[in-house]
Amino acid sequence: MSLFFRGLLFTASVLVVGGCATNTTTTTEPTAAAVPEPMPSETTLPEGVGINVSYMDTTVGPGEDFFRYVNGNWIDQTEIPGDQGRWGSFQELRERNNEMVLRVLQQASANPKYVDGSAERKAAEFYRVGMDSARAEQQGVQPLQPMLESVKALNTKKALQDYLAYEDRRGGDSFYGFGVFPDLKNSKVMAAYLGAGGLGLPDRDYYVKDDSKSKEIRQEYEKHIARMFEMIGEPNAQKKAQTVLAIETQMAQNMLTKEEQRNPYNLYHKKSIAELNKMVPSVNWQKYLTDLGAPSLDTLIVMQPKYMETFEKIVKQRSLDDLKTYLSWRLIDGAAPFLSNQFVQANFDFYSKYLRDVQEMSPRWKRVINVADGMIGEAIGKLYVDEAFPPQAKQQALEMVENIKGAFGDRIRNLEWMSDSTKQKALQKLSTFTVKIGYPDEWRDYSALEVNAGDDASYLANVVAGNEFNFQRELDKLGKPVDRTEWGMTPQTVNAYYNPLFNEIVFPAGILQPPFYDYRADAAVNYGGIGAVIGHEISHGFDDQGSRFDAAGNLMNWWSKEDFSQFNSRTEKLVNQYNAYQPMDSVFVNGQFTLGENIGDLGGINVAYDGLQRHLQENGNPGLIDGFTPEQRFFISWATIWRTKYRPEFLRTQVLTDPHSPAMYRANGPLVNMQAFYDAFDIEQGDPMWRPESERVNIW
């Protein structure tokens, strides 16, 4: 399924992600934080468990800049690796997971118990072919040629629809894309969606903004397109690049903004085939669906009708040669990472080095592993969890989830701004949350996936085969009951998500690792890490998007008018709070675009703190560890997981395209609204992080 459907499927995010903090436990008093009295006696943890106090900069007060207080020495001593645009807890853990995945793939390749045709053998073969750089150099652009020839063979505009169906099945998204997932208003039924796609730059704003930086990026993008056309031997490369940019600009101008796409009602427009034929008559939609493999469909959900009308204008106004130029570019752009080095390098030079300031290309093995994760990820996941996720870890994580869910329920009951009738519906929704921890109960069947490891194999062909397998797997769901056991992330993924259509929170084994989660660490560290992640995902069920879905996962209003007005007034305060954050000169956080994640962070840390208090009441207070109280360790753990250092252009791109605020604001932003933080570190009026009660935001 094309990537633009993912934002609708999952309201969650690249959330809190961690790297192992090796530490030598100390027993000194903190220099900049008062410790409440009386306290039980001080305890110690095994070396390498918990908080690394050497990363802290205690010359900075916790009320001055808590992110710096917790991470300052690490920031000063850390160099961003050349193949990264940012570096922090998330990237450290991903690197460690990648190394483990590499190891298990190599072991699987040498293990005779994984016979030909097994999912594990296919994963190993996919990796082996992808790693064969000599083969890629010998083949050059050859693996792409048949697809380019299919574009050249188009002799009428009517033939365009045949090609688009062909391309959709192979993972493309020129002009638009087809996807299958539950109906937003009837989550028990699988529905077909038609979404806008086909841009080369990261977001539609890159095409429509008139500031000097945006203009410069468009100029560089045009040069990049021309360079790639020249590499496949196309004449008039510069003119073709101008054509592509002009078409993509026209497309972007009529797409919904990223802020508008946050409202799921803006993306739900059911259309019959007759209505779609009237809206976009250049496509015979019944034939398109038949070619796609879904001939019985009589209704699609059109996510952006205005955009589809623009597509119709483009087909009518543009020459066939212009349309073929655009389609050829989409093929080249999509295939470049899987061809010979000159294509891989050119793709890196623009998208990574220029746009994100990444200085070096990642080693080939890392790039191939990332692709394999999307093609055959659960087969790799079976190998990964045996190495990385013991049963004890899963059980303790489940216990923490139940405790935090209970704490969230208490917070709902105690809300002073919500009526009792709406509270009951919120509590009903919370009570029906499904929780998935670590890995699926049943693994995905890859028997229909074809991986060619013979002499005639190519990396690109295996990627296309993987796309076709995944597309057909989605298509086969039409007309069948929704499978709520399915996972949207592989077990090795360093991430977590909330799915509003399933009303579920999901935590892959990949994120249930230090510093987010360590079953050997004290409760305060785990509640400040994975506990806040759990709370974050629960809060997504009640953020500006998730709050629009009911307990059954349907897009349906369950709020009273007055309560929803109260909710919106509080979220508006949070929007304004984050709008004021300025990570770079003239670059501000977009509080509306990042609202869902900011609600998740604020709700997550509040409910995780309550969960910790519940735990301490039931299990006792362990006293000082590293010289810090449990409450202080909780907040230090929270800031630790956001430990991140950025390259300037990467940071700029994140602010413009990512619904998550930069890490320093994810660490500090929620804390200025929490009295518990003020109490833990004696934050007082006059401290930079202190806010008067009238400015503090309290939602959940």
Task: State how far the Cα of 131 lies from the Cα of 144, in Å rounded to an integer.
Answer: 18
Do 642 and 564 reside in the same domain of the chain?
yes
Residue 389's pLDDT band (boundaries 50, 70, 90)? confident
Residue 37's pLDDT band (boundaries 50, 70, 90)? very low
Q: Give the count of alpha carbons within 13 A of 552, CB side only.
A: 14
Do 95 and 180 reside in the same domain of the chain?
no
Q: Compute the average pLDDT of residues 9-21.
A: 35
Task: State how far the Cα of 438 lies from the Cα of 393, in Å rounded to an integer.
Answer: 9
Residue 2's pLDDT band (boundaries 50, 70, 90)? very low
CB 505 within 8 A of CB 11: no
Residue 48's pLDDT band (boundaries 50, 70, 90)? low
Q: Compute the average pLDDT of residues 447-451.
A: 97
DSSP string, 592-658: TTTHHHHHHHHHHHHHHHHHHHHHHHHH-----BTTB-HHHHHHHHHHHHT-EEE-HHHHHHHHHH-
Do 184 and 81 reside in the same domain of the chain?
no
Task: State how far the Cα of 606 lies from the Cα of 467, in Å rounded to an integer.
Answer: 41
Q: Compute the average pLDDT of residues 1-19.
A: 36
Structure tokens at 688: 């930079």
CB 219 within 8 A of CB 201: no
Do 186 and 281 reside in the same domain of the chain?
yes
Q: Is residue 334 over pLDDT 70? A: yes
Task: Give pLDDT, residue 116.
Answer: 93
DSSP string, 534-585: HHHHHHHTTSTTGGGB-TTS-B---S-HHHHHHHHHHHHHHHHHHHT--SBT
* Three-state DSSP class for residue 332: helix
Residue 466 lies in a domain: no
Q: Is residue 139 over pLDDT 80? A: yes
Domain boundary among 319, 349, 377: 319
Structure tokens at 119: 């999912």
Residue 356 lies in a domain: no
Do 67 and 203 reside in the same domain of the chain?
no
Do 686 and 538 reside in the same domain of the chain?
yes
Q: Residue 454 contacts by C-beta under 8 Å, 6 or more apart in sequence?
A: none
Q: Residue 235 contacts by C-beta under 8 Å, 6 or more apart in sequence?
A: none
Look-up of token digits 């029906």 = 432
Residues 432/435/441/445 CA torsion (nearest 10 deg): 90
Predicted confidence (pLDDT) per residue in 176-194, tens digit: 999 999 999 999 999 999 9
Helix, strand, coil percentages for the chain (3-state, nearest 5)? 55, 10, 35
Task: State how far the Cα of 575 lies from the Cα of 147, in Å rounded to an integer.
Answer: 46
Task: State how far the Cα of 685 lies from the Cα of 417, in Å rounded to an integer.
Answer: 27
Task: Give pLDDT, residue 588.
Answer: 97
Residue 463's pLDDT band (boundaries 50, 70, 90)? very high
Predicted confidence (pLDDT) per residue in 482-511, tens digit: 999 999 999 999 999 999 999 999 999 999
Task: Give pLDDT, residue 182.
Answer: 95
Task: State how far the Cα of 546 lies from the Cα of 565, in Å rounded to an integer.
Answer: 16
Q: Compute the average pLDDT of residues 456-466.
A: 97
List, in sequence order, every residue forming a beta bridge with 271; answer none if it has no partner.
300
Residue 383 lies in a domain: no
Residue 375 lies in a domain: no
**Greatest CA separation found in the chain?**
83
Torsion-angle region of residue 629: left (phi > 0), alpha (psi -120 to 50) or beta?
A: beta
Going by their DSSP bridges, the two strands 176-183 and 186-196 should be labelled as antiparallel
Regarding predicted confidence, which is higher, 212 or 520? 212
Structure tokens at 579: 């709008």
Do 608 and 693 reside in the same domain of the chain?
yes
Task: State how far the Cα of 534 lies from the Cα of 628, in Å rounded to an integer.
Answer: 24
What CATH number is attached to the domain comprising 302? 1.10.1380.10
Q: Residue 569 contacts by C-beta under 8 Å, 6 or more apart in sequence?
A: none
Residues 293/295/299/301 CA torsion (nearest 10 deg): 10
Task: State how far the Cα of 36 lies from the Cα of 629, in Å rounded to an integer.
Answer: 8
Query: Domain limits at 96?
Result: 44-106+400-438+497-700
Q: How far is CA 36 from CA 65, 77, 522, 631, in A?
A: 21, 32, 19, 10
Task: Give pLDDT, residue 41.
Answer: 46
Task: Give pLDDT, residue 193.
Answer: 97
Q: Is residue 519 over pLDDT 90? A: no
Domain boundary among 319, 336, 370: 319
Q: Residue 145 contacts by C-beta under 8 Å, 6 or more apart in sequence?
A: none
Spacing of C-alpha 80 from chain mean position = 21
Residue 280 lies in a domain: yes
| Weakest mean pLDDT among 31-40, 105-114, 383-392, 539-548 | 31-40
Do 631 and 514 reside in the same domain of the chain?
yes
Predicted confidence (pLDDT) per residue in 146-183, tens digit: 999 999 999 999 999 899 999 999 989 899 999 999 99
Task: State how far the Cα of 120 lies from the Cα of 621, in Å rounded to an integer.
Answer: 46
CB 503 within 8 A of CB 553: yes
Task: State how far the Cα of 98 lies from the Cα of 83, in Å rounded to an integer.
Answer: 14
What CATH number is attached to the domain comprising 548? 3.40.390.10
Do 252 and 313 reside in the same domain of the chain?
yes
Residue 36 lies in a domain: no
* Three-state DSSP class for residue 453: coil
Q: Which amino acid is at 696?
A: R
Q: Give the count of alpha carbons within 13 A of 329, CB side only.
A: 31
0.85 exceeded by pTM:
yes
Do 53 and 176 reside in the same domain of the chain?
no
Residue 21 lies in a domain: no
Burial bucket for residue 279 (CB in 10 Å: 0-12, 13-18, 19+): middle
Task: Give pLDDT, residue 374.
Answer: 93
How many domains, the chain? 2
Q: Is residue 50 over pLDDT 90? A: no
Task: Give pLDDT, residue 29.
Answer: 28
CA-nearest of 631, 664, 407 to 539 is 407
Integer-rounded Cα Rg, in Å, for the chain is 26
* Mean pLDDT score across all residues of the chain: 92
Task: State how far the Cα of 603 lies from the Cα of 590, in Å rounded to an integer.
Answer: 19
Residue 392's pLDDT band (boundaries 50, 70, 90)? confident
Task: State how far the Cα of 132 lies from the Cα of 466, in Å rounded to an integer.
Answer: 18
Q: Is residue 1 over pLDDT 50? A: no
Q: Residue 215 contacts by C-beta under 8 Å, 6 or more apart in sequence?
A: none
What percent of the chain is modeled with pLDDT above 90?
Answer: 88
Structure tokens at 479: 């007309």
Task: State how far the Cα of 18 lies from the Cα of 624, in Å rounded to an integer.
Answer: 24
Q: Compute the average pLDDT of residues 414-436.
A: 97
CB 632 within 8 A of CB 680: yes
Cis peptide before 515 (omega within 30 of 0): yes
Residue 47's pLDDT band (boundaries 50, 70, 90)? low
Predicted confidence (pLDDT) per residue in 52-64, tens digit: 999 999 999 999 9
Torsion-angle region of residue 503: left (phi > 0), alpha (psi -120 to 50) or beta?
A: left
List, in sequence order, every residue forming a beta bridge with 270; answer none if it has no partner.
301
Cis peptide before 40 (omega within 30 of 0): no
Q: Compute the average pLDDT of residues 94-105.
A: 95
Do 677 and 559 reside in the same domain of the chain?
yes
Q: Is residue 298 over pLDDT 90? A: yes
Do 168 and 100 reside in the same domain of the chain?
no
CA-nearest of 359, 370, 345, 354 to 79 is 359
* Three-state DSSP class for residue 13: strand
Residue 373 lies in a domain: no
Residue 396's pLDDT band (boundaries 50, 70, 90)? confident
CA-nearest of 180, 174, 218 to 196 is 174
Q: Which amino acid is at 85?
A: G
Domain boundary among 295, 319, 343: 319
Q: How many CB atoms lie within 10 A of CB 509?
A: 26
Task: State how far the Cα of 301 lies from the Cα of 574, in Å rounded to an integer.
Answer: 32
Task: Give pLDDT, residue 44.
Answer: 58
